[in-house]
Amino acid sequence: MSLLSGYKVIDFTSFVSGPTCTRLLADLGAEVIRIEKPDKKKGSGPYYGGERTVDLGLMRGKKSVTLNAKDPEDYSILMKLIATADIIVENFRPGVTKRMGVSYDDVIKVKPDIIYTSISGFGQVSPYQNRGAFDIIAEAMSGFMSITGERTGKPVRAGASIADIFSGLEAAYGTVCMLLHREKTGKGNHLDLAMLDTMFAVLNNPVTAYLNGGGVAQRIGNEHPQDVPWDDFPTADGIFVIASARTNTFVKICQVLGCEQYSTDARFCNDDVRLQNKEACHEIIRSYTRKWKTKDIIDAFNEAGIPCATINSIDEACNDESLQARGMIATVTHKTAGKYKLPGSPLKFVHEPVKLAKGSPILGEHNREIFSRLGLSKEEIDALLSKQAKVRTFFKEFEME
């Protein structure tokens, strides 16, 4: 029994933000049923076992049903399915679900207590609601890119699609909150989540500072706006990072490096003066860390209780001892691609732990299972799937998020 066992999710999502939300719900045991194009194309690679790796990760644990919402018969089946659901998640542009006949107002006619989550670039009500948006757009407009990158370099996006991912996380959180509220009151709800709003909220500290008389935050690379030393530092054979938030940690750093005289230096003896003399402090530390091999200085710092780390590549992270010990690499099974590995769930519950075993579905894999549950006979299902095989267009005029 998983935490969300027994709850049914209808998934109208694509790209990253929406599928991230429904992936989290699936990880927790909800039955997530994806509504997909009968003629859906797989898109660009990379591939594993003939399947896109992005789909193998984001669509894990879900079911796939193919329906054409423009076809009256298919639409009738879709609405029957929606009437049995607890949650709908969609990330079309505002207005698309209304044209499809599956907007919140349409759905509550057949399922009054539905939990309905909408994810879009700018929200259902916004001066920008008709604009297209992807991760980099939200990162740029929110201010996030302006503070990301080296001090003298250009603004850059994050290495992962964090606007999509954070939006999916917020959407999943909001969805579960609405579900909890329905358990208490019997009432459904509609969440309108915008990627731009999400990324603006991510900037809580610099935005709050600015709104209350502070300056405009600038790019500072791997440095910290308040804490020193906090940056990447060279070693004799590589690079590592130090995160020192208090003077007592700085004292330990000086002791390990053999430069105790700087711990009482008037330029560095407390948090405030170190911040004022950040560049000098960092340069002194670099002059000492360059003499150490990376493994040796990491071992010495860890033994002294100084927060530090190597900068792992993806392959190095996959072999990290802690990630391995905590089961953060899971193995699941796909119908045609077979077994494959992906990141596990970071949610480690003492009771009802998250157990990943099911991979992503192939297109329409669960048609017969889901349609038969709705009362369709074998002959009706055969006829429906035969008709779908001839479909050449589906949602062609509908642009995703």
Query: Is 164 considered catalytic here?
Result: yes
- Name residue 94's beta-bridge partners: none
Give CA torsion, residues 326, 315, 42, 370, to 10 deg. -10
Cα dist from 91 to 14, 116, 130, 145, 365, whole Å: 7, 11, 13, 23, 22
**Using alpha carbons only, what angle is made at residue 135 by residues 134 and 138, rounded to the nearest 5 degrees?**
90
Which tokens hold the place of 279?
Answer: 């560049």
Give the integer Cα–Cα distance in Å for 350 and 348.
Answer: 7
The 10 Å Cβ neighbour count of residue 211 is 8
- Name residue 65's beta-bridge partners: 35
Question: Torsion-angle region of residue 49: left (phi > 0), alpha (psi -120 to 50) or beta?
Answer: left
Which tokens hold the place of 144?
Answer: 């996030």
Burial 340-372 (b: 16+ CB within 10 A, else e): bebebbeeeeeeeebebeebbbbbbbbbbebbe
Find where tokens 């049914």 sit.
8
Give the integer Cα–Cα distance in Å for 164 and 139.
Answer: 10
Closest CA to 62 of 17, 9, 16, 115: 9
Find where tokens 């995703």 sit.
400
**Using alpha carbons only, what angle is made at residue 12 by residues 8 and 13, rounded to the nearest 5 degrees?**
110
Q: Which of 27, 86, 164, 231 is catalytic?
A: 164
CB half-sphere exposure, 364, CA atoms < 13 A: 16
The 10 Å Cβ neighbour count of residue 36 is 20
Asked if 363 and 66 count as a contact pair (C-beta separation under 8 A), the reply is yes
Three-state secondary structure call for residue 81: helix
Catalytic machinery residues: 164
